[in-house]
Amino acid sequence: MRAVIVEAHGGPEVLRLAEHDSPQPGPGQLLVDVTTVGVNFMDIYQREGRPPYAGDVPFVLGSEGAGTVAAVGPDAQGVRQGDRVAWTGISGCYAEQVIIPADRAVPVPDEIDLETAGAVMLQGMTAHYLVTDTYPVAEGDPVVVHAAAGGVGLLLTQMVKMRGGVVVATTSTLQKAELARAAGADHVASYDDFGIVVREVTGGEGAAVVYDGVGQATFDASLAALRARGCMVLYGGASGPVPPVDPQRLQTGGSLFLTRPTLVHYIADVEELRWRAGEVFDWIAKGELDVRIGGTYPLADAARAQEDLAGRRTTGKLLLLPGI
Ligand SMILES: NC(=O)c1ccc[n+]([C@@H]2O[C@H](COP(=O)([O-])OP(=O)(O)OC[C@H]3O[C@@H](n4cnc5c(N)ncnc54)[C@H](OP(=O)(O)O)[C@@H]3O)[C@@H](O)[C@H]2O)c1
């Protein structure tokens, strides 16, 4: 089987498509034929060796996908050969086959195709935990969603609207602004003027929460856009990592809250994983949540997919399809 290997940390040029032996599932494990691989920022950080994502080289990149169970290891409970499953947080997914623990495999309902399932495991469950648990959005809450035409952003915008929030979205282009509006954003602003828009929309009060996956470029203005006791949710750093923050800024900003969440702690056990994925799948099946696949690439073009993502040229979710 073929897999994309990082031979040394570095730029997109370090990715290499190579032949591997087909892995064998051990106790409690599944061998899966991969249909869909999710492309994520984390893959870029791991390729670069950026802390805290750096691992030992060489390794097969990728952590998310969906496919069909090809073989079931001893003692793997509740899953059979031929079942359709999806996952996130599993190493070595830029590949035609992957080994996953049976208790991290999420069954894919019949109504959901494998491309869609693989597209929402990381970004869909992230948007879900951000609006339900990190800061539970309430009816009427003014909410800033940065990079609203991106993979997380489009899903987050829709989920905030499902809970009755008022979305002030940011995007860098008119085309992306249109996508954010179509996803339900009430107001779309640039990164330079979103703070002004928030003040206008809230009568000067400020946002209840800012969901910020852009990081370095937006952090200061995001903090300044919050109302007293507002919540700064820094969930990523597409523009770069945020430098250390003096806690006194939270006091002077209005007794603010700051959190830096990550998905793994919100799908900590199999019950939470399956509940969260199940809600996302349910909304898709009912037509309440639209999933935009912004680009598909063969495995051999993994480097191009990562360049497009990092270069702000994409909208929605990017997928590698090992079968094309
Ligand atoms: N904490 C978690 O659990 C978790 C889970 C998933 C993802 N994330 C994070 O969430 C963020 C978004 O991930 P995603 O996969 O959905 O990506 P994405 O939003 O599809 O792509 C990133 C977007 O960020 C915007 N951006 C602004 N400044 C940028 C810059 N200097 N370089 C690159 N992009 C810039 C761009 O949109 P515009 O052109 O409109 O500005 C770009 O399209 C990433 O930081 C990722 O690491 C965190």
Helices (H) and strands (E) in the chain, counts: 10, 16
State the distance from the centre of ligand 1 to the C-alpha of 256, rounded, in angstroms: 23
21 CB neighbour count, 10 Å cutoff = 7
Ligand 1 contacts CB of residue 149 (under 6 A):
yes
pLDDT value of position 54: 85
Q: How far is CA 228 from CA 46, 191, 231, 243, 253, in A?
A: 37, 21, 9, 23, 7
**Strands 97-101 and 29-39, bridge-based pairing:** antiparallel
CA of 265 to the centre of ligand 1 (A): 20
Phi, psi (deg, nearest 5) at residue 251: -65, -55
User: Is the beta carbon of 316 within 6 A of some atom in ligand 1?
Assistant: no
Helix (H) or strand (E) holding 46: helix 41-48
pTM for this entry: 0.98
**135 Cβ closer than 6 Å to some ligand 1 atom:** no
Taking the C-alpha atoms of residue 137 and residue 147, their distance in angstroms, rounded to an integer, is: 18
Minimal-distance CA residue to ligand 1 atom 45: 236
pLDDT at 51: 86
Residue 78 CA to ligand 1 center (angstroms) comes to 35
Q: What is the distance between the alpha carbons of residues 7 and 127, in angstroms, rounded to a whole number?
A: 32
Closest C-alpha residue for ligand 1 atom 36: 312
Mutation to probe ligand 1, out of 260, 312, 315, 319 (largest number of atoms < 8 A from CB) = 312
pLDDT in tens, the chain (324 residues): 999 999 999 999 999 999 999 999 999 999 999 999 999 999 999 999 998 888 899 999 999 999 999 999 999 999 999 999 999 999 999 999 999 999 999 999 999 999 999 999 999 999 999 999 999 999 999 999 999 999 999 999 999 999 999 999 999 999 999 999 999 999 999 999 999 999 999 999 999 999 999 999 999 999 999 999 999 999 999 999 999 999 999 999 999 999 999 999 999 999 999 999 999 999 999 999 999 999 999 999 999 999 999 999 999 999 999 999
Does ligand 1 come within 6 angstroms of the Cβ of 41? yes
* Contacts with 238 (C-beta within 8 Å, 6 or more apart), sequence order: 41, 147, 150, 213, 214, 215
User: CA separation (Å) from 23 to 31, 137, 264?
Assistant: 7, 43, 25
Tell how far CA 29 is from the center of its chain: 25
Give the angle subtended at the CA of 114 by the CAs of 57 and 148, to the nearest 5°. Answer: 75
* Best of 132, 214, 239, 306 for a ligand 1 pocket test (most atoms within 8 Å of beta carbon): 214
Minimum-distance ligand 1 atom for the alpha carbon of 151: 16
User: For residue 222, what are its two tokens?
Assistant: 């995001």
Neighbours of 189 (CB within 10 A): 22
